[in-house]
Structure 1
Amino acid sequence: MKQIYLDHASTTPVRPEVVGAMLPYFTEQFGNPSSIYPLGQDASDAVADARAVLAGIIGAAPREVYFTSGGTESDNWAIKGFARANASKGRHIVTSAIEHHAVLHTCEALEKEGFEVTYVPVDEHGLVRPEDFAAAMRPDTILASIMFANNEIGTIEPVAELAAIAHEHGVVFHTDAVQAFAHEPIDVKAMGIDMLSASSHKIYGPKGVGLLYIRKGVKVQNFIDGGQQERGRRGSTENVPGIVGFAKAAELAQADMGPERDRQRELRDHAIRRILDEIPSAKLNGSWESRLANNVNFSFEFIEGEGMLLQLAARGICVSSGSACTSGSLDPSHVLLAIGLPHEIAHGSLRMTLGRDTTREDVDFAIDSLKTTLANLRMMSPLYEDFQQGKVASVIEQLKADGFPYAN
């Protein structure tokens, strides 16, 4: 059975060129970068070269880039590290209601330490409104963390505008750019970003490595003590193969970002139009205009997401429902609830995220399979039978009447 992988927001396969770049650092160039002999210095040079490549992609200085184990650690370090280092200046943090759990759970942990957190709402597209963001600022606000692009519905936030508002209030601005890094153009200086999190395995690099950009002058506590690695900021022997692979993956992604983004955007729009035209009781979640090029997220009425995923998986189609990191949960997505969807619609969500190898044929096969799957599931739904007999109303039709966009 052919497998069609449409879950690239969850993780990506490692590109052959990346594997090739990494292999020597598992074998003949295995040295510890902290060692002073040539074998160690060769590894140290490789880490330095990778740091320069990754810094250049976001317009940062190499000394402002620190390597971590991934996006979750980077988010934790940025938020906890900054909050604890600057608690004497204030104990209030601003974030959004649709952040990744790496940010939300970190903020909840800080609330237990006595910090206060304001969770700014979003509109029906998942966009943080600048006026709401500005209204959340207080004299004791020290940090704002707003994601660059949402991992579930793909909405790209107005990061530069939000960062400018934060700076007007003397607030440091962090963004979780895990879904956007090397997929969207990012210039931390031009956009006013003070800290940024990114991860390798979202861009066809290895798992277990990420980065945190910390603008020079931003005070952040060390996150891992125990050594002088990362200029004394994060102990632990560097993951040299992973770091080399991360840089190679980012370099490759940067080289063809524009054409690949345009190609995926065309496939994305083709998928969205087919679903809206051919599948009843469907709603596109998130902004169509301000959206990651590879993201398609729909809610379907009269079905449960789990049954939909299982039937699609049986046809060889890999997709997700809700957040990739919590897809085992039966709770509805906090992102979909935050954009105003009722529970019964949020439960029936599907996320397809396209990749470098995704073809139009793959997309069409997936949508044809989705149509069959939904028809099968709805045939078994007593609620759908009641709807056909006019005994219950369509929630999506009501949402459409209330002005929600992109509903069929």
Structure 2
Amino acid sequence: MVVNQTELQEEIMQIPKWWSYPEGFEKLIEKAHELGKKELLPRASISDKECRYPRESLQAIADAGFGAVTIPVDDGGLGAGLTGFALLAESFSQYCASTTMCWVMHTAAVQTLYTAGTREQRQRYIPGVLKGKIGALAFSEPATGSHFWNVVSSAPRKGNGYLLNAEKSFVTSAGEADWYIVCTNYPNSIEDDPLMFLIVDHNQKGIEYFPFSAMGLRGNSSGPMKFKDVFVPIENRLGTEGGMNVYNENVIDPLFLLGTSACWVGIAQGALNAAIDQAKKKVHKDTGKSVAGYQVIRHELAKAQILIDSARSMLYRTAEGMDQCLNSGKELSECLYPLWELKTHAADIVIQVTNQALQVSGGRGYLTGQVEKFLRDGRAGAVMGPTNEILREWIGRTLIGVPWFE
């Protein structure tokens, strides 16, 4: 009997596109995957092995028009909203997690500058961002660990500016970014909280960068930084002298949690895609069957994909809810609870899925390579602040009706 290939193809179940991404983003996603395959993936292993910052990949992202995706079109950005931001992060991370993490933190920094900054500050920095300049956030400090929202450093007034002394622990793009938003305290603030944001350019005197060597995400240069007697002119202050915690809750935390969650979902999908590809191609000569020909393998693939899609569905719903919140004039702090759940779930499932991908890949998965790299990259999620333990506590306190933050 001759099998008609057209008829055979019709018998194959086609996964509906609306299940893979929200309607209206088809061209954006197609462009993101083309960029990932052409620019991000070829450099990913080199970036990992050599701890090399993915500058070329980040430049390619900017050249493709993704340097300021959340900024309105009228101000030079892409205007893709938080849904577009989440979809791009999830897509990019299937090819290179280090590049994606740098881009996510860059996007959060750009949005913070846009939201809290003056028109002059926007005009000074946004054009460079569109051409490939990189922004970064310098928040976490050794003294407070993963409680990155609490800082002990300070920057008192000195003449027409501030004298910044701060030690930062994990700064994505440390030593590589063109400018940093540094979170510190203003000691004489009249606001309820003393948090102050300062823009520090990379070439200022008194800045030290230190090497980054980690289990995964080895290309994102998330090393420590020191700011020693760095003078920051008053025109480089974002917002007020203190009182900036409102931007933590309404810009930085929401974008950080959404973007990193998208990374963990994308890493899980990338690892599973690599495992599926290996399982289909690897044929056992003694049985004549591919690895994918065994039922137990197919069941593991199915269980992993269901986990990914559960997190992806949360990602889409949360991102769309955030856009709806902004469009209705509400604050993004109203979306923190679903973001806590999203980050916790995404960071949990990426560990399980990358382990399943390695198991399906057998000995080849244990060797240095794509699956092994995804496993190492994804492990960062659960320990990245706010850690999953902290988030589960906040979720639990909310459920029983007591203040989540004390």
| Both proteins in one fold, TM over 0.5 | no
Q: Which has the higher contact order (CA 8 A, sep 6+)?
A: 1
TM-score category, normalised to shorter length: under 0.3
- TM-score under structure 1 normalisation? 0.25
